[in-house]
Each structure stands twice: as structure tokens, then as C-alpha cells.
Amino acid sequence: MKKLVVALAALALAAPAFAQQDPASAGNSGNRSTIGLGVAITPLEPNTVAAGSFARTIEVYVPIQIAPVLRLEPSVGIHTNDQPNGGIDTRDVTIGAGLFVQQRVAPAVDLYAGGRLKLNFAHVDTPVGDDSGTDFLIAAAAGGEYYLVPKFSVGLEAQLGYYSNSSVSGDDSGLFTNGLAFLRVYFL
């Protein structure tokens, strides 16, 4: 996953070399790309979910333009932590979906607002046994994307939501805020 982040960052740094076309044509103006691939670079600040599994997974997002101003964004994340010498091993698989209304505010800038729903399937192996559980997260989200070139964007997203962790992840629940930075590449 680190290689993917490095590759996307290298593409972002190489964007001026691709920018040989009219800047007004950059972005999704008029004909938005219909499918892409994205990764959240890092949480921008610690959040209350840090004790749970959602903060540990690295997720890949698949933005799909289902209508001119409507985006569906499924995601999947995987995290494993295997400890040597009979330590505690953990595995987390997170699946989610976001639904967003988009608005173009400049030729290369889109704003979006909507929500995200995620389920995390957590599993812990200890020397005395194993346990598993399902964590839940629902959040309102708003953000923006800047298209460096027509098929590549960087963006920021703010979230306000509710989480409920299983006993495997700490058996707690509550409200949280979170910020993410995104890199997205569009193919079609």
C-alpha cells in the first residue's frame, strides 16, 4: 500500500509536466469521469476512533459517477498485525460506501457533501484464544477536489459521525470528527 501512495504522490509532483493543455479544461467540467481509484493519504488529525479498528486500516476508494452530480464511492481496507513469539495478532477488513452530491465551483474544483457508512470485521488471536466482532461507523462528510490534470485530483474531506466498536476493538461508541486528504485517479 505504501508503494501505491508513493506512486500517486509521484504522479502529483509530475502534474506540471502533464499540464500542457488549457487550464480551463482541467477537472470534471462538463463530462465527469465515471470511475476512478483513490486512497486517503492520512488522517489529518487524531480522532476518537483511534482506539478502534477504523483508524488502523488503509482504505482504497472507488469513485463512481452514477449521475451528473451524484457520486457513489465504495471502499475496502485491510490491516493485519502479526506479532512474533505468540503475541497478539490482529486482522481488520473494512468495507464501506459513500454517497455524495457534487457541485463544480470552478473549472478545476468540485465540492461534495454526503455521507459514509462503514463496517469493520475485526479478528484478534491471542495465546489464550481468539475473538472477532463487527464495528460500525456512519458519518456526514463534506470535501473538495482540485484537478491538477483532467484525470488526477487531490482533495480534503471533513467527517462528523458516530461509531460503535465491538468488544474486539474496545467495546465503545460515540461521536467523532475526522479529516482526510485524498489522491484520486480517474480512468473512464
- Residue 27 belongs to some domain of the structure: no
> How many domains are there within the chain?
1
Q: Name the residue among 131, 164, 132, 138 with its Cα closest to residue 52.
A: 164
Q: Name the residue among 121, 119, 103, 99 with its Cα closest to residue 111.
A: 103
Digit-coded pLDDT (tens) for 84-93: 777 788 888 9
- Residue 119 belongs to some domain of the structure: yes
CA 11 to chain centre: 18
Digit-coded pLDDT (tens) for 98-123: 999 999 999 999 999 999 999 999 88
109, 28, 68, 31: CA torsion to nearest 10: 150
* Residues 90 and 98 sit within 8 Å (Cβ to Cβ): no
Report d(CA 94, CA 78) in Å as an integer: 6
- Residue 162 belongs to some domain of the structure: yes
**Residue 50 confidence (pLDDT) above 60:** no
Measuring CA to CA, how many Å separate 91 from each of 13, 87, 138?
Answer: 34, 13, 21
Assign 68 to helix, strand or coil. Answer: coil
Place of cell 466482532: 133
CATH code of 172's domain: 2.40.160.20
**Residue 45 confidence (pLDDT) above 50:** no
Task: Provide the terminal-to-terminal Cα distance of the chain, rounded to the nearest Å.
Answer: 23
Domain membership of residue 59 as a residue range: 2-20+33-186
* Residues 43 and 58 sit within 8 Å (Cβ to Cβ): no
Q: What is the pTM of this model?
A: 0.75
- What residues have CB less than 8 Å from 26, skipping those under 6 apart? 19, 107, 108, 147, 148, 149, 150
How many CA atoms are closer than 13 Å to the CA of 132, on its beta-carbon side? 6
DSSP β-bridge partners for residue 140: 115, 160
User: Which of 19-23, 113-117, 154-158 comes out lowest in average pLDDT?
Assistant: 19-23
- Residue 173 belongs to some domain of the structure: yes
Assign 168 to helix, strand or coil. Answer: helix
Place of cell 462528523: 160
Q: Name the residue among 13, 60, 55 with its Cα closest to residue 179.
A: 55
Report d(CA 74, CA 148) in Å as an integer: 23
- Residue 25 belongs to some domain of the structure: no
**Residue 97 confidence (pLDDT) above 60:** yes
- Residue 26 belongs to some domain of the structure: no
- Residue 28 belongs to some domain of the structure: no
- Residue 44 belongs to some domain of the structure: yes
Separate counts of helices (H) and strands (E) for the chain:
2, 9
The model's confidence at residue 2, banded by pLDDT at 50, 70 and 90, is low
